[in-house]
Amino acid sequence: MNDNLFIVVFAAAIYYGTPLVYAALGEILAERSGVINLGVEGMMLLGAVGACWVATSIDGPAGLVLPIAVIAAMLFAAGGALIHAFLTITLRVNQIISGLALTIFAGVAGVSSYLAGLWDLGQSPVANQFGRMDLFGWGDLPVLGPILFNQTLLTYISWLLVVLTSIYIFRTRWGLQLRAVGESPQTADSVGVAVQRSRYLHVLAGGAFAGIAGACFSLSILPTWQNGMTLGQGWIALALVIFGFWRPDLMLVGAYLFGGLSSLRYTLQARGVEIPQLFLDSLPYVMTIVVLVVVSNSAARRQLGAPAALGKPYEREER
């Protein structure tokens, strides 16, 4: 059963799509508050290095080490997000420039690689990893079992978070305030919503989510440290936010589509399908460029439902 190509591709799509789900979910929160954070890639690397450091340096049962490693990942990445939040929300620096700077600062030639070198990471796979986990014993179900219920705990948690985030954004008072801040901070401010606080919180939450995305790589997919190990997936996550119209549920579909594309090189290669390696490797990035080109027109973005105040700093009128 597990040998069925169809099942293998779908299971791999979910497995490789999971970090994309976390990263894009976090970016949805930040962008819904009106802040674009192009530092996703850098924050993922910070999360990956933080998780790898904890998993390498702490000995203990998986049940103890892995949660600490994930929390470390969230804190590391949120630290990167805090820089972006301070620059863009308090100092009103251009969000695009600040986000790019964050990715460069934290990226391949930056802090994440420096820390990994300092802590001597990447020599061997981490001892405690997120392995496959048979959820509720449903892993034996035909077709659905191997696709849905033989994933890692990180995947199961991501599903829960997608549902909770959807409810939060669309069904709660705080979600209403979040959307108001992203659509029209002036209006939100005039009815007593704390605009700056909301933006800080959601940019930080977005960073923490990107950290978990990084942990998916260093605790499960690779699972060790490699410089630049996230392979540009942070950029794909940014495209997914748009692809999913800033909605968690639609984004999930997109994430698994791109996860599937990313995994093709492993699944097809293993079966000896003759498709040039470079073509497969470039597929998700080509798709990302296509998505970004289509929506780069600001009129199109408005129609897709982008928050109206996205990218615009807010300053209260003092007259």
Nearest CA among 242, 255, 234 for reference residue 301: 242
Q: Can you tell me the distance from the alpha carbon of 103 to that of 147, in angstroms, rounded to the nearest whole number?
A: 33
The distance of closest approach from Cβ of residue 138 to other proteins in the complex, given in angstroms and rounded to an integer, is: 30
Residue (177 or 262) nearer to other proteins, CB: 177
Helices 195-216, 5-32: crossing angle, 10 deg rounding: 160
Considering beta carbons, is residue 184 or 226 the nearer one to other proteins?
184
| Minimum CB distance to other proteins, residue 316 (Å) | 10
- Cβ 242 to other proteins shortest distance, Å: 16
Please give the Cα distance from 124 to 2 (Å, whole number). Answer: 29
Looking at the Cβ atoms of 190 and 277, the one nearer to other proteins is: 190
Spatial separation of the C-alpha atoms in residues 12 and 147, rounded to whole Å: 8
Q: How far is the CB of 198 from other proteins (least distance, A)?
A: 12
Report, in Å, the least distance between residue 188 CB and other proteins: 7
> How far apart are the C-alpha atoms of 141 and 61, rounded to whole Å?
30
Token representation of residue 253: 């579909």
User: Closest separation between CB of residue 290 and other proteins, Å?
Assistant: 22
Q: Which residues contact 71 (CB under 8 A, 6 or more apart)?
A: none
Is 270 or 308 the residue whose CB approaches other proteins more closely? Answer: 308
Distance CA 43, CA 37 (A): 10
Give the N- to C-terminal CA distance of the chain in Å, as an integer. 70
Query: Which residues does 101 contact at the CB level (< 8 Å), separation at least 6?
Result: 39
For residues 124 and 319, which CB has a smaller minimum distance to other proteins in the complex?
319
Q: Closer CB to other proteins, residue 112 or residue 198? A: 198
Residues 6+ apart with CB under 8 A from 29: 165, 169, 178, 202, 205, 206, 209
- Considering the complex, state which of residue 57 and residue 186 has its C-beta at the smaller distance from other proteins: 186
Contact positions toward other proteins, by CB under 8 A? 167, 171-173, 175-177, 179-180, 183-184, 186-188, 190-193, 299, 305, 308, 319
CA angle 217-221-223, nearest 5°? Answer: 80
Largest CA-CA distance found in the chain, in angstroms, rounded: 70
CA distance 25 to 40: 11
Of the two residues 134 and 249, which places its CB atom closer to other proteins in the complex?
249
Nearest approach in angstroms of CB 278 to other proteins is: 39
Q: How far is the CB of 165 from other proteins (least distance, A)?
A: 14
